[in-house]
Structure 1
Amino acid sequence: MPLVLPLALLLGLACLLLLASPYPYLAPLALPALAGLALLYRKPVWGLLVLVALVPFEGLFAAAGGGGGVTANKLLGLALIAIAGLQLLLRQLPAQRLRSNLWPVLLAFLACYLLSLAFSSDLGLSLQHLRQFAVGLVLFALSVLLGHDLDLPALARAVVLSVASTCVVALASASHQPDGRAIGLLSDPNYFALLISVAFPLALLLTLRAPRWPQRLFWLAQLVLLLAALGRTGSRSGLLVVVLTAAIAAWHYRDGVKHLLTRHLGWLILALAIVLPLSPALLPESFIQRLEVLTSLKSGVKSHADNSLARRSAYLVVGGEIIAEHPLLGSGPGTFPLHFARTGYAIAFANQPIPTQLFREAHNTYLSMFSEIGLPGGLLFAGLLLLGLRNCQVARRHWLSRGDPERAALATHFGLSCLALACFLFFLSVPSHKYLWVMLGITSVLRLQADDDAAGARP
């Protein structure tokens, strides 16, 4: 490989610099770093797999890096960007791999984003938002570029195993949390529930498509682990999203479900008779109370009954006021917390009398986009997600028509993961979430593969 010698010289220099630095104990890592870079250069798609697998562990890396230091996932991401860019320049990766039907909508959205940034009410907050948002855009480009070499079942396994491993930590440490809600290695139970909601359709895919019964039992255990951790998060939005995706998956496999009900109806009734009485004991008491509050919504949202729902109602009011004042360009990316802090709702819903409690996200990505970027930008962002879901639908129909249930199942379940993300965006402000942009890239690759296959089949 022509780049081994230059890389060896650079890392040798880095080794000497480390020996002369206050951290000489890092010098022996030069040789493993060289081996890792060489492997990453030969198989950059493995780097993308590792980046996706590290997403559930970001809280651990943030704690180890002090919240803003250099961490393993950042180093891997920078190395992958440099290698992919170099291979594009050397034409080792063809530029045609960057094809995607999402680019026109995404570029139009970015134009609205930059215009909103130029007229932002707080440029500092907007630039910080841009820095975080750029990470998602880079992951989208890497997913589109490397997605043709990506083994989608391997990606599903990486997502499920990484999230399930943090579920073990979550179940073990949930009792030590102040409210008893599981958070995994993150800082918020709803963010953890988002990871579980994305992994659930992929775990279901691996369970149903396992070739032998030992593998099927293994993936079924991961599926049960995900559902158990979801119950411990106490996330009502997570429960809603998982129920929705499970219902759509049941419709996709409706013939198999009918066969299962016909042959094993007695066993299913027995399982329900055991699980349903035990479910209140398995779920945290706070989750049961939060579900009971939903029954009182017919009479309106009351802050004394559920502070969370009352806050979300306040976010809608503040977001509506921002949209009315800045309908075209919004108030600027990332500025919703600043506008919310200036209202009386911020003081009313502050958990503690400290300034940081006044600045709250909208807990709704679509509301954030419409209020911060403007109506055109918000519509383009929503259109981007709809087009991604459409890509999976078209790919699924194509593979079903070609009599390829394996690839149709891949399109279905990755589409369900994308749908879970799109639904969860109604409950969290995470426009730069890594899973979101990787899944959008995967939907684009699925659509291109289906279109290319259809074009090759034409006479």
Structure 2
Amino acid sequence: MKSRFYSIFRFTENCCYYFWRQVTPFIPVDWYLALITSAIVFIYLIVSKKLPPFFYNNLNKWLFLFLLVNVLATFLSPFQEEAFSGMIVLFQIYFFIYLNLVFLTENGLKNILPLVLGISVGFNGLIAGLEYFMGIQIFMVGEPGGGRVYGLTSGANNMAVWSIMAIPPLIYKLMTASSPGQFLGWLSLNIFAIMGLISSESRAGFLVFLIMLMLIVYMNRHLFQPRFLGLVISGISLCFLMVAVAIPDEYFERQKTLLAEDQYQDTALQRRQAYIRVGLASFFEHPVLGTGTFTFPQVWVNSIESRFFKMTERGAHNTYLDIMVGLGVVGLLVLLGLFFRIFKDFMNALSNFEMIGDEPMHGITQAYLVSFVCLVVYCLFKTMLDNKMFILLISISQVVYILSSEKKEQVHGYAG
């Protein structure tokens, strides 16, 4: 029952893309959903008179420490109004982390969540792909004058992040499909998600996608047997042929700018280089606790470099730089510690599931781990902490670890 309710909530929330979230007056649709869900959780806590079991996890101390650093940095911030606004965003992040922990279940992780992600991301990717590949515009979205298309999300990078997060579990479900119908269904969702990634023309998404493919191949290397080598080579050749025929030249031209010698002509790359210069200068001025929670936009708009671009408050497009500027070296170390704890819990969960022979949970956990690693890499190109997909993976890490420990204890008599 809990999994079904969560699937309805997650599906509805995911489908309330940026394009539609303001259709209701006063506050966005997804906020209404969050309020309704919060009320249900509140009633549940009163009736049960106890906290949900997944609330007792390995991240609590790290999340508390990160919150403490943010509070100190905010009170010492030269941009206190903006820093306090950043704290509100941080509380929203924490809220969604623990909200996920209330509803995520084993069945939800294995079966429901991949389907929900596949349908919501696939629907978005299909809309973007139809416009990008065929010129069929269903909704008036995308960048003015053509070019990058991002469906109903808030931007091209968000479209890429959604696809990067969803593809690993979708590939796992494709590889474990038990019938031709399921195989075709999961194959379609994979194609739609990849269409969304390509339509975004995200250079960061392209790089991370290559890393993702290498991770997936490495983690499933035991499946590649010598007698299937010819079939694999044929499949790869067919994929390359389809890519060469289907993808517009503009996509490859944009990706080639990553290696071009005249990058100074690319305004976006120039701006990102300026972000780094401004961020490092601010960090050396406030090295310990930074300038306050999520205050990089204020640092940027007050910098000399911003005069050469649009004079607007802009994010760092780099999670680590954003934290360095806002929270200093202390905040950065705590964030890295949090990421390492999440990675370690994923790895421990994999070890536990392998030890007890739970192949379905081992496989899906491995897929979510690939998604997490890819988004950690993506943090070099985008501010990710408030991204719902990234928040979801933080929660998943604790659910799979606790489930694996409980199963291991039942089988072997001790947890791990």
Alignment of 1:173-188 (within 5 A): 173-174=131-132, 175=135, 177=142, 178-188=145-155
Q: Does 1:427 align with 2:381?
A: yes
Q: Which residue of 2 aligns with 1:158?
A: 116
Q: Which residue of 1 aligns with 2:301?
A: 341
Q: 1:45–1:146: 8 Å Cα contact kept in structure 2?
A: yes
Q: Deviations over 1:231-255 (max 9, x none)?
A: 2211111122122122112112112
Aligned equivalents of 2:105, 2:49: Cα separation in 1: 14
Matched AA of 2:413: R
What's the C-alpha RMSD, in Å, of the aligned pairs?
A: 2.2
Q: Which moved more, 1:402-411 or 1:276-285?
A: 276-285
Aligned equivalents of 2:269, 2:407: Cα separation in 1: 47
Aligned equivalents of 2:176, 2:236: Cα separation in 1: 24
Q: Which residue of 1 aligns with 2:17?
A: 58
Q: Which residue of 1 aligns with 2:403?
A: 449
When the two structures are aligned, how many residues end up with a matched partner? 402
Q: Which moved more, 1:106-115 or 1:335-344?
A: 335-344
Q: Which residue of 2 aligns with 1:40?
A: none
Q: 1:399–1:450: 8 Å Cα contact kept in structure 2?
A: yes
Among 146, 152, 174, the residue aligned to 1:207: 174
Residue 449 of structure 1 deviates from its aligned partner by 1.4
Q: Which residue of 2 aligns with 1:29?
A: none
Q: 1:47–1:76: 8 Å Cα contact kept in structure 2?
A: no
Q: Secondary structure at the match of 1:248?
A: helix
Q: 1:365–1:426: 8 Å Cα contact kept in structure 2?
A: yes
Q: Which residue of 1 aligns with 2:130?
A: 172
Aligned equivalents of 1:136, 1:58: Cα separation in 2: 18
Q: Secondary structure at the match of 2:20?
A: helix
Q: Which moved more, 1:121-130 or 1:274-283?
A: 274-283
Alignment of 1:215-364 (within 5 A): 215-257=182-224, 259=225, 262-263=227-228, 265=230, 267-296=231-260, 302-304=263-265, 306-350=266-310, 355=311, 358-364=312-318
In structure 2, do the counterparts of structure 1 residues 406 and 113 end up closer, same or farther at CA, with 3 Å as the change threshold?
Answer: same
Alignment of 1:72-151 (within 5 A): 72-91=29-48, 94-148=51-105, 151=108
Residue 52 of structure 1 deviates from its aligned partner by 2.9
Q: Does 1:397 align with 2:351?
A: yes
Q: 2:118–2:189: 8 Å Cα contact kept in structure 1?
A: yes
Residue 280 of structure 1 deviates from its aligned partner by 4.3
Aligned equivalents of 2:387, 2:76: Cα separation in 1: 25
Aligned equivalents of 1:269, 1:150: Cα separation in 2: 35
Q: Deviations over 1:329-381 (max 9, x none)?
A: 1111122111111223212233xxxx4xx321100011101111221112212
Residue 275 of structure 1 deviates from its aligned partner by 4.1
Structure 1 or 2, whichever has the larger Rg, is 1
Q: Deviations over 1:131-175 (max 9, x none)?
A: 222222111112223334662121111111110011111112334
Q: 1:56–1:186: 8 Å Cα contact kept in structure 2?
A: no
Q: Which moved more, 1:361-370 or 1:90-99?
A: 90-99
Q: Does 1:458 align with 2:416?
A: no
Alignment of 1:399-414 (within 5 A): 399-414=353-368
Residue 212 of structure 1 deviates from its aligned partner by 1.3
Aligned equivalents of 1:133, 1:382: Cα separation in 2: 17
Matched AA of 1:390: K
Q: Which residue of 2 aligns with 1:33?
A: none
Residue 281 of structure 1 deviates from its aligned partner by 4.6
Q: 1:170–1:182: 8 Å Cα contact kept in structure 2?
A: yes
Residue 88 of structure 1 deviates from its aligned partner by 1.4
State the percentage of identical aligned residues.
Answer: 20
Matched AA of 1:376: V
Q: Deviations over 1:290-341 (max 9, x none)?
A: 22222235xxx7321x222221111111111111111121111122111111
Q: Secondary structure at the match of 2:306?
A: helix
Matched AA of 1:55: N
Q: 1:55–1:434: 8 Å Cα contact kept in structure 2?
A: no
Residue 226 of structure 1 deviates from its aligned partner by 1.5
In structure 2, do the counterparts of structure 1 residues 408 and 215 end up closer, same or farther at CA, with 3 Å as the change threshold?
Answer: same
Q: Which residue of 1 aligns with 2:335?
A: 381
Q: Deviations over 1:208-266 (max 9, x none)?
A: 12111220121012112222221221111112212212211211211212x2x63251x
Unpaired runs of 5+ residues, structure 2, are none
Aligned equivalents of 2:97, 2:154: Cα separation in 1: 25
Aligned equivalents of 1:278, 1:252: Cα separation in 2: 25
Aligned equivalents of 2:78, 2:46: Cα separation in 1: 39
Residue 413 of structure 1 deviates from its aligned partner by 0.7
Q: Which residue of 1 aligns with 2:322?
A: 368
Q: Which residue of 2 aligns with 1:17?
A: none
Aligned equivalents of 1:285, 1:345: Cα separation in 2: 33
Q: Secondary structure at the match of 1:242?
A: helix
TM value normalised by structure 2 = 0.90
Matched AA of 2:355: S
